């Protein structure tokens, strides 16, 4: 009797210790480390003395099928909950009972129950779903209880010690594996902050408890500039430093995580005023970062905030609303903005615009207007035109600035440029066939170059597909093209070799390096409207551009000419070409063709041959 009591006591102690180890964070405590060390010593003793609680299996077959059968029976029982969720607790207990009974039956034989337990432990280390881990905990508990009890009944005290030490060591391995997998799956590798998955889980936890929370989504401005200027290594270090500054500001009511890239999020149960103080403190802390990797930097945050009252929204919807407020705060250059109906309407309009713009580009339904270019010395003579994109949404015109900016943000700008180029130059071919040969210029966004698009290949493809005459085609570039170095120079030279002309648009607004400008294969400089507007009061810059064009032997086009005094000044300073509302606004295709035909008819009536279009540039 005393031996049975001792056996049962040993079994219970073994089960309690091991279950505490698995179901608590005991392995992170001093007691846990002491238990691990003791188990390691005991296990080493068993190994060094050549002792084993079991002899070798008499038949290897049961060593394979018995653990699998044990596990299968438990899973089969646990599968009941899939069909009867209201009996989930009973199913867990039943599955643990089956595994315990099987382990008890196998305990006096071979090492089968230990193999079952190890199989359970190995599988548990790979699980992350809460319900699956809960099931595996119950199965492990059943295997531990059954094996311990079976060994105690058989009076195999040494085996109990072996079992305890082996499973404790197994627990250490499983805990380490699980911790590494958990960190890898749930944290951002760069900032070591929780990732979006953890943010989602925290939001779900609060929603299930019917607790409202704020979702503050914010970006760190300056990261992109650091990446572009000093490299991604400096950018990564900036993110790390910024994330440490954020951690210094958050408190027990806040859950900080990194959403992606330079975007972070805080789920907070603070009051509104406390949250505003937190955002301002974070912004101040980020602004205090003056140096990264020995480089001077400047950083700040923009934040969008939404409130989820008692789990009213799912986390993705809450994230969408905070993102909308973030876009608003970035556009208005404000530190933070709370979501409201006006911001939502603006964001919804942008979303609808994006969808409609994608469709318009795919269907090539964008309109092209043409602004004529006139001979400055003979303002009645048209010498070319610039193609300008126009678009209507729901019957109303959308500002070119708005939809072109939208196209750049949504990576649609390359396709938009191609549609406008093709439509404009195909019209040039049709005009040539009518005897109205006119050089037409089209723009190409430098944003496309940043995405690796080849301007030369695109233009060459358009020419070949439509049988165009390159002599009647012009490409307008801006000073930002200079940032793309030798590659863009080679592409522009290849286009000139095909017969196209190249114009530098908005010249003077980008602070070009004049040495680089001299090396570019250019034919035309276009004076930006801001200088033309000031030409009568302060002509210094315009005079410099005129003189520069003459010295570089480039054609000169003045944009935005709106009054006769400007026209007179440009004529006196030998400017070759002008365009602006003084002579013509941008015209739809039909009106532009009609204008050319009327000009030709007038020339015919006056018995004066209409001049063939000369070199032109675009706005």
Q: Is the Cβ–Cβ distance between 100 and 142 less than 8 Å?
A: yes
Domain boundary among 159, 186, 213: 186
Is there a domain that residue 391 lies in? yes
Look at 102 and 51; give whichever has higher pLDDT. 102
| Closest to 258 measured CA to CA, from 316, 196, 320 | 196
CA separation for the pair 215, 217 (Å, rounded)? 6
- pLDDT one-digit tens code per residue, 51-78: 444 444 444 444 444 445 444 544 554 4
What was the pLDDT predicted at 560? 93
CA separation for the pair 26, 35 (Å, rounded)? 9
Q: Where are the strands (E) in 461-604, listed by range?
A: 473-477, 501-507, 524-527, 555-558, 577-578, 587-588
The helix or strand, by DSSP H or E, that contains position 291, with its residue range, turns out to be: strand 291-292
Residue 115 and residue 180 in one domain: yes
Residue 97 and residue 26 in one domain: yes
CA separation for the pair 531, 507 (Å, rounded)? 10
Is there a domain that residue 106 lies in? yes
What was the pLDDT predicted at 33? 53
Residue 89 and residue 170 in one domain: yes
Residue 481 and residue 366 in one domain: yes
Residue 368 and residue 326 in one domain: no
Residue 89 and residue 157 in one domain: yes
Is there a domain that residue 421 lies in? yes
Q: Is the Cβ–Cβ distance between 253 and 268 less than 8 Å?
A: yes
**Least confident segment among 218-232, 521-535, 580-594:** 218-232
Residue 460 and residue 589 in one domain: yes
Residue 280 and residue 399 in one domain: no
The alpha helices in 24-156, defined as continuous H runs, are 30-48, 60-78, 88-106, 112-124, 130-153
Residue 331 and residue 386 in one domain: no
Residue 140 and residue 20 in one domain: yes
Residue 301 and residue 330 in one domain: yes
Look at 605 and 474; give whichever has higher pLDDT. 474
> Which long-range contacts link 405-412 to residues 24+ away (Cβ below 8 Å)?
406/350, 406/353, 406/354, 406/357, 407/357, 407/361, 408/445, 408/447, 410/354, 410/357, 410/358, 411/451, 412/357, 412/358, 412/361
| Closest to 22 measured CA to CA, from 175, 129, 147 | 175
Residues of the domain holding 453: 358-526+585-605
- DSSP secondary-structure letter at 194? B
The mean pLDDT value of the chain amounts to 79
Residue 104 and residue 218 in one domain: no
Mean pLDDT across 528-533: 91
Is there a domain that residue 613 lies in? no
- Sheet containing 336-338: which strands, arranged edge to edge? 254-260, 263-268, 213-221, 300-308, 336-338
- pLDDT one-digit tens code per residue, 195-239: 998 999 999 989 888 899 999 999 999 998 888 788 888 999 999
Is there a domain that residue 174 lies in? yes
Is there a domain that residue 611 lies in? no
367 band by pLDDT with thresholds 50, 70 and 90 = very high
Q: Is the Cβ–Cβ distance between 136 and 191 less than 8 Å?
A: no
What was the pLDDT predicted at 32? 52
Is there a domain that residue 82 lies in? yes
Domain boundary among 186, 221, 246: 186
Whether the per-residue pLDDT at 320 is higher than 70: the answer is yes
* CATH at 252: 3.30.70.270
Mean pLDDT across 366-381: 95
Whether the per-residue pLDDT at 583 is higher than 60: the answer is yes
CA separation for the pair 546, 536 (Å, rounded)? 15
List the end-to-end C-alpha distance of the chain, in Å, as a whole number: 103
**Least confident segment among 184-198, 229-243, 474-488, 562-576:** 474-488
* CATH at 506: 3.20.20.450
| Closest to 11 measured CA to CA, from 191, 152, 169, 221 | 152
Beta-carbon contacts of residue 224 (< 8 Å; ≥ 6 apart): 235, 262
Total number of domains in the chain: 3
Is there a domain that residue 222 lies in? yes
Q: Is the Cβ–Cβ distance between 382 and 374 less than 8 Å?
A: yes
Q: Is the Cβ–Cβ distance between 536 and 542 less than 8 Å?
A: no
| Closest to 562 measured CA to CA, from 526, 531, 533, 591 | 533
What was the pLDDT predicted at 607? 56
Backbone φ and ψ for 527, nearest 5 degrees, come out as -80, 125
Tally of CB atoms within 10 A around 250: 16
């Amino acid at each position: 009797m005393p031996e049975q009591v001792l056996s049962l006591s040993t079994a219970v102690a073994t089960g309690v210790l091991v279950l505490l180890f698995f179901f608590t964070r005991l392995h992170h405590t001093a007691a846990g480390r002491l238990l691990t060390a003791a188990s390691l010593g005991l296990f080493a003793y068993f190994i060094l003395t050549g002792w084993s609680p079991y002899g070798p299996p008499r038949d290897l077959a049961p060593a394979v099928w018995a653990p699998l059968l044990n596990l299968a029976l438990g899973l089969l029982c646990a599968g009941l909950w899939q069909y009867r969720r209201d009996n989930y607790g009973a199913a867990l207990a039943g599955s643990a009972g089956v595994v315990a009974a099987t382990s008890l039956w196998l305990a006096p034989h071979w090492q089968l129950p230990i193999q079952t337990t190890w199989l359970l432990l190995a599988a548990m280390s790979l699980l992350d779903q809460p319900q699956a881990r809960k099931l595996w905990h119950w199965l492990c508990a059943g295997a531990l209880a059954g094996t311990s009890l079976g060994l105690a009944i058989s009076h195999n005290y040494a085996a109990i010690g072996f079992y305890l030490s082996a499973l404790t060591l197994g627990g250490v391995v499983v805990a380490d594996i699980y911790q590494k997998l958990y960190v890898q799956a749930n944290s951002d590798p760069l900032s070591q902050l929780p990732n979006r998955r953890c943010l989602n889980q925290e939001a779900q936890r609060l929603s299930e408890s019917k607790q409202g929370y704020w979702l503050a989504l914010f970006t760190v401005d300056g990261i992109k500039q650091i990446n572009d200027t000093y490299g991604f290594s400096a950018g990564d270090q900036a993110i790390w430093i910024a994330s440490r500054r954020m951690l210094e500001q958050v408190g027990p009511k806040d859950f900080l995580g990194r959403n992606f890239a330079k975007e972070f999020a805080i789920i907070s149960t603070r009051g509104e005023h406390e949250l505003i103080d937190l955002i301002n403190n974070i912004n101040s802390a980020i602004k205090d970062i003056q140096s990264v990797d020995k480089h001077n930097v400047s950083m700040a945050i923009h934040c969008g905030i939404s409130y989820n009252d008692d789990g009213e929204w799912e986390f993705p919807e809450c994230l969408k609303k905070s993102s909308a407020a973030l876009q608003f705060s970035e556009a208005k250059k404000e530190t933070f903005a709370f979501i409201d109906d006006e911001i939502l309407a603006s964001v919804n309009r942008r979303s609808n615009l994006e969808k409609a713009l994608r469709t318009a580009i795919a269907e090539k339904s964008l309109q092209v207007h043409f602004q004529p270019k006139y001979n400055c010395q003979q303002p009645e003579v048209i010498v070319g035109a610039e193609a300008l994109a126009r678009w209507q949404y729901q019957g109303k015109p959308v500002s070119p600035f708005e939809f072109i900016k939208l196209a750049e943000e949504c990576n649609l700008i390359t396709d938009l440029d191609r549609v406008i180029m093709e439509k404009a130059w195909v019209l040039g071919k049709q005009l040539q066939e009518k005897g109205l040969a006119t050089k037409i210029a089209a723009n190409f966004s430098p944003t496309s170059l940043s995405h690796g698009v080849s301007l030369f290949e695109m233009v060459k493809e358009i020419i070949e597909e439509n049988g165009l005459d390159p002599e009647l085609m012009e490409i307008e570039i801006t000073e930002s093209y200079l940032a793309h170095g030798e590659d863009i120079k080679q592409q522009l030279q290849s286009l000139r070799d095909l017969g196209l002309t190249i114009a530098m648009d908005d010249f003077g607004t980008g602070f070009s390096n004049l040495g680089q400008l001299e090396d570019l294969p250019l034919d035309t400089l276009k004076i930006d409207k801001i200088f033309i507007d000031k030409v009568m009061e302060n002509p210094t810059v315009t005079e410099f551009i005129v003189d520069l064009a003459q010295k570089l032997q480039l054609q000169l086009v003045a944009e935005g000419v709106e009054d006769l005094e400007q026209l007179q000044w440009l004529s006196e300073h030998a400017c070759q070409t002008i365009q602006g509302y003084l002579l013509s606004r941008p015209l739809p295709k039909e009106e532009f063709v009609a204008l050319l035909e009327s000009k030709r008819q007038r020339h015919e009536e006056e018995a004066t041959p209409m001049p063939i279009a000369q070199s032109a540039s675009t706005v």
